[in-house]
Structure 1
């Protein structure tokens, strides 16, 4: 359990350092594009380092650390909740940034800058985590440092099956995100954390359940077992297709591409006050009866 304690301290340090980066960006940078890019960088950096350490615990912990999958899933839920509460509007996920672009919430230049910041953040997070592992602060890190250069692919299924799994995870995640993104953080954060934990538990044995192209690039693409094109199909195209399907199902259209709603009928903007019309009918009948009862000259 000493190795687990070291990892928990590592998680606290990573979140603390990234919170300091966010605080400095608010003090030193403009609140517009520069602040947004700084938050995306800090969020991607935090997410990458946390996920790499958590993946190490998941791979080595059951046989080298004396704890089971339940401990790792509990940590995953808590970390997902912390990420959701601390990201300060950043997504740290390219498919979420592309979704905002397709919803006309972000320009092409801003979206491209976000993707670049996410790539730099995950790349730096991967490099610093490898450096941290090389210090071998625990037995788990000693084992991880030995096997890290010879890491194997996270794809443990046929290529179409793996792409379908990643696409399905992305589809469900984005569908939940679209539903709760306007909700209060007290509701949104735990719902998304439960969703991520559930998807990781169910789809993890097949592909790792990453459904984040930037995170997958930093953590998986350098591993042996599959070609670069295989990784692109599973971890880039799969999540992108899942996001598009979720957006189309939720909206009925993709505003950046077309405005016509393909799935849901548009309700009329103006409503007829039926209750008022029905209440006026008896009065009209009484007036008609009164006029008929009047004597004719």
Structure 2
């Protein structure tokens, strides 16, 4: 139990350290530069460092401390719930950054800068986590340091099945992200955290269910068992395929590439004005006004008749 407490303490410390980086960057940098650099760097550092610790529990926790999938899934849900409330608009995911670019929500320069900064955050997370592991505060970390140079690959299936699992996971994640992108954070963050937890649990035996090239690059690209090209096809191409399918299915098009909607008919928001009729329709008020003088003429006619009778008499 003491080992698990130290793991949780490390997760909380990383989140707090990343928040400090965000606070400093937000205070001294313009908004656009902050969003493209410091925010993405801190979020990627937070995501990768904490996920490396969670992955260590997945590989060692069962036989090293008796922590099964229930403990790991609970920590994963709470971790991504914290990410949802602390990322401050950052994605720490190249697929999401490219999705924003294809939706015309981000420029080419901003997107390219985000991608570069994200991979810088990976290296910072690796350095931070490995320095923490070298302290060997728990038996988990001691075993992890012994296995560090001979890590096990997360890709436990064929390349074809792996790309299918990653593409399907990315599709599910991005379609939910698009559907609830304008929902309040208090509802969106738990929903996305639950989605990530379920997808990671379902894809764990095959590809570990990363559906994020940043996580895959940080955790498994350097492990033996598969080539770098195979990892790229599964974890990078698979995530991009899933993202493109979700974007096309949700919008019916890809706004950055073409405007025509291939799936949905967009009804016009403005009604066409009806043609004016040639006949003028008189209102009841005007009819009363026109009929009023006729009623007033009757007394005048009766007076004229009386005067004529008096003269004749």
Give the equivalent residue in structure 1 for 2:307. Answer: none
Give the equivalent residue in structure 2 for 1:90. Answer: 90
Give the equivalent residue in structure 2 for 1:118. Answer: 118
Unpaired segments ≥5 residues, structure 2? 275-282, 284-313
Query: Distance in 2 between the 1:99 and 1:139 partners?
Result: 41
Post-superposition offset of 1:270? 2.3
Post-superposition offset of 1:272? 6.7
Q: TM (normalized to structure 1)?
A: 0.90
Give the equivalent residue in structure 1 for 2:101. Answer: 101
SS at match of 2:205: helix
Give the equivalent residue in structure 1 for 2:2. Answer: 2
Query: Distance in 1 between the 2:192 and 2:149 partners?
Result: 33
Count of residue pairs the alignment pairs up: 275
CA contact (8 A) 1:25 1:35 kept: no
- State which drifts further: 81-90 or 119-128: 119-128
Query: Distance in 1 between the 2:81 and 2:18 partners?
Result: 15
Query: Distance in 2 between the 1:35 and 1:195 partners?
Result: 25
Query: Distance in 2 between the 1:227 and 1:76 partners?
Result: 28
Give the equivalent residue in structure 2 for 1:290. Answer: none
What does residue range 156-175 of structure 1 map to in structure 2 within 5 Å?
156-175=156-175
Post-superposition offset of 1:210? 0.6
CA contact (8 A) 2:174 2:246 kept: yes
Q: TM (normalized to structure 2)?
A: 0.86
CA contact (8 A) 1:93 1:212 kept: yes
SS at match of 1:259: coil
Unpaired segments ≥5 residues, structure 1? 275-282, 284-297
Post-superposition offset of 1:35? 4.1
Map Cα deviations across residues 89-116 of structure 1 (whole Å, 9 max, x no partner). 0000000000000000111110000001
CA contact (8 A) 2:151 2:224 kept: yes
CA contact (8 A) 2:103 2:256 kept: yes
CA contact (8 A) 1:37 1:114 kept: yes
Give the equivalent residue in structure 2 for 1:220. Answer: 220
Give the equivalent residue in structure 2 for 1:44. Answer: 44
Map Cα deviations across residues 215-264 of structure 1 (whole Å, 9 max, x no partner). 21121110000001000000100000000000000000000000000111
What does residue range 257-276 of structure 1 map to in structure 2 within 5 Å?
257-271=257-271
Give the equivalent residue in structure 2 for 1:237. Answer: 237
Structure possessing the higher radius of gyration over alpha carbons: 2
